[in-house]
């Protein structure tokens, strides 16, 4: 193999670019991005927030779920440019600064609600978003399943995640 570095720095692509400004985990960020950049790629590759995962890029798996203006939404089905002015929360904002797990995360750990951990951030954000909604929680089996539907998990078979939602409600005093 040659040890010579080849001149490979290419011309950037012909994509039109624009500046976006949004608030991510409480911090205002400004970046120049391609018009077609997905919010998921923006978070992961522009901001380095790689806790938001990408599983299908067609909205089915839910791995990329973040809070968009407080509500769970798919970052793969949102353009960065479309999110201009939005408030975004990602998994990186959920635990305390010292690393202490949020009750939803703690519940996942206690209940063995994760295996490979790839779907987990999306699951946690979806659950967190629902817990933060005003609508009363339905903690029946069916109610929790309904809440989790929209996030695929291929490892756990879901039952431990259902248990984790119930445990999180307990830890958060939301069982009444």
Partner 1 sequence: MKPSIFGYQAPTTLDEAISLLAGDPDAAVLAGGQTLLPAMNFRAANPSLLVDIQHIDGLRSIVVGAEAIVVKAMVRHREFELDADVRRVNPLIAEVMQHVAHIPIRNRGTVVGSLCHADPSAEMPLLLVLLGGSVIVQGLSGSREIAAEKFFQSFLTTARSHDEIVVEARFPLLPPMAGWAFDEVTRRHGDYAVVGVGCVLSLDESSRASGVRLAACGIADRPVRLKEAETVLNGTALGTSDLDAAVAASMAAVTQPDDINVSASYRRRALGTLIRRMVAKAAQRAQMAEVAS
Partner 2 sequence: MSTRTFGARIERNVDPKLLRGEGAFVDDIPLPDALHVAFLRSPHARARINSIDTKAAKANPGVVAVYTSDDIGALDIEMPLLIPHPSMTNPQTQRPLARGDVHYVGQTVAMVVAVDRYVAEDATALIEVDYTPLPVEMDMAKALSDGAPLVHATVPNNLAAHFVQTSGDPDGAFAAAEHVTKITVQVDRSTAAPMECRAVAARWEAVTGELTMWDGTQAPISVRGGLASVFGIDEDKVRVIAPDVGGGFGQKVLLFYPDELLVPMAAMQLGRPVKYIEDRRENFIGSSQERTQIHTIELAALKSGEVIGLRDFFLHDTGAFIPYGIAVAQVASTSIAGPYRIPNIFVEFKAVYTPTVQVTPYRGCGRPQACFALERAMDQLAQELGLDRFEIRRRNLIADHQFPYAREGLLFADGLKVTLDSGQYARALAMAATELGAEDFATVQAKALSEGRYLGLGLACYVEGTGLGPYEGGHVKIHPITGKVYVNTGLSTQGQGHDTVFAQIVADQLGVSPQDVIVVEGDTKAFDWGVATFASRAAVVSGNAIHKTAITVRNKVLQAAANMLDIDVESIELRDSAAWVKGSNRFVPLAAIATASNPLRYAFNKAAQAATQFAPSSKHDGPPLAEGEVPGLEATDYYSPSQSTWAYGVHAAIVEVDPGLCTVKIRKYVCIHDCGNMINPMLVEGQVMGGIAQGIGGALYERLDYQADGNLANASLMDFLVPYATEIPDVSILHLETPSPLNPLGVKGVGEAGCIAVGAVVASGVEDALRPFGALKFRQVPLSPTMIADALEQVRH
| Residue choice 22, 33, 72, 108 for contact with partner 2 (CB under 8 A) | 108
Considering only residues 25-54, where is the footprint of partner 2 by CB under 8 A?
34, 36-37, 44, 48-54
Q: Is 112 among the residues that bind partner 1 (CB under 8 A)?
A: no
- Tell me, residue by residue from 10 to 29, as one string, x for binding to partner 1 by CB under 8 A and - for no binding: ----xxx-x-----------
Q: Which is nearer to partner 2, 86 or 121 (CB)?
A: 121
Q: Are 165 and 133 in contact (CB under 8 A)?
A: no
| Radius of gyration over every alpha carbon of the chain, rounded to an integer in angstroms | 18
Q: Which is nearer to partner 1, 70 or 117 (CB)?
A: 70
Please state the φ and ψ torsions of residue 159, each to the nearest 5 degrees: -60, -40
Is residue 78 within a helix (H) or strand (E), and if so which, with residue range? none
Cβ count near 128 (within 10 Å): 21
Q: Answer with the entry of partner 1, partner 2, none that 168 interacts with (C-beta below 5 to 8 A by kind).
A: none
| Residue choice 70, 155, 170, 175 for contact with partner 2 (CB under 8 A) | 155
**Alpha-carbon gap, residue 16 to 119, rounded angstroms:** 32
Question: Tokens at residue 169, please?
Answer: 């409600």
DSSP SS3 for 173: coil
| Residue choice 84, 117, 133, 175 for contact with partner 2 (CB under 8 A) | 117
Question: Tokens at residue 62, please?
Answer: 């839910």
Instruction: Give the number of residues in contact with partner 2, rule: CB under 8 A.
Output: 71
Q: Is 87 among the residues that bind partner 1 (CB under 8 A)?
A: no
**Min dist. Cβ of residue 112 to partner 2 (A):** 5
| Range list of H helices, 96-174 | 103-110, 120-132, 141-148, 159-171
Bridge partner residues of 87 (DSSP): 23
Residues that bind partner 1 (CB under 8 A): 14-16, 18, 35-36, 38, 41, 56-59, 62, 65, 68, 71-74, 76-79, 81-82, 84, 126, 129-130, 135, 145-147, 149-151
């Amino acid at each position: 193999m040659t040890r010579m570095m080849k001149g490979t720095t290419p011309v950037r692509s012909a994509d039109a670019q624009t500046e976006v400004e949004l608030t991510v985990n409480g911090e205002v960020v400004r970046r120049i991005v391609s018009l077609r950049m997905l919010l998921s790629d923006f978070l992961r590759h522009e901001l380095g927030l790689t806790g938001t995962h990408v599983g299908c890029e067609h909205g089915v798996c839910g791995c990329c779920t973040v809070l968009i203006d407080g509500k769970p939404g798919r970052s793969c089905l949102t353009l960065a440019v479309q999110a201009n002015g939005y408030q975004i929360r990602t998994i990186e904002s959920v635990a305390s600064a010292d690393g202490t797990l949020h009750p939803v995360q703690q519940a996942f750990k206690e209940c063995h609600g994760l295996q490979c951990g790839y779907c987990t951030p999306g699951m946690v954000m979806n659950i967190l978003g629902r817990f933060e909604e005003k609508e009363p929680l339905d903690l029946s089996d069916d109610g929790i399943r309904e809440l989790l539907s929209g996030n695929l998990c291929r490892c756990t078979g879901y039952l431990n995640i259902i248990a984790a939602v119930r445990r999180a409600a307990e830890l958060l005093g939301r069982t009444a």
